[in-house]
Structure 1
């Protein structure tokens, strides 16, 4: 795996993890009862974005190491996930 592939893999894992972590523990204006005129009641008031970014980074590093190890070890290859049998078998 090249450095570019490793960075792309980490970026994909980071953003997927961030989208999962983002809605956790969000306090909305409706929850607090302080709705600013012209906004939705579901608009976030306390989002804790910095903490969520750090949590996402930590989880992503662990997942990236596991997935990168699996890819580099050859335990799972492209031939294993070729569901349409487009590649000829290698001997």
Structure 2
């Protein structure tokens, strides 16, 4: 796998990881905190979004997932032939 491909795959894994991390970083919406809503703002909008914490956890998770992907790419633990269920 070349460097441009690896960077593209890492970026895709990073974006997926961001969606996986969001429910676990403790973001609460204004309704749960009892704060008034700003006109035009959704009830589900958070009062404070921890961008640095989200980016840190996303990067850590994406790095682990990408390392597993890359090791599988190098050593062939799971191949396309193993996923072909029509052969059975």
Q: TM-score, normalised by structure 2?
A: 0.80
Shift of 1:53: 0.7
Shift of 1:2: 1.5
Distance 1:83 1:12, change over 3 A: farther
Greater helix percent: which structure?
Answer: 2
Unmatched segments (≥5 aa) in structure 1 = 86-91
Counterpart among 38, 49, 52 of residue 50 in structure 1 = 52
Alignment length (residue pairs): 85
CA distance in 2: counterparts of 1:38 and 1:75, whole angstroms? 51
Counterpart among 41, 53, 61 of residue 39 in structure 1 = 41
The structure 1 segments of at least 4 consecutive aligned residues displaced by more than 4 Å after TM superposition are none
Shift of 1:40: 2.1
Alignment of 1:1-91 (within 5 A): 1-24=1-24, 25-34=26-35, 35-83=37-85
Describe the superposition over 1:3-44 as per-residue Cα deviations: whole angstroms up to 9, x where unpaired.
122112211211111011123311211122222122222111
Which structure has the greater CA radius of gyration? 1
Q: TM-score, normalised by structure 1?
A: 0.77
Greater strand percent: which structure?
Answer: 1
Greater RCO structure (CA 8 Å; 6+ sep) = 2
Unmatched segments (≥5 aa) in structure 2 = none
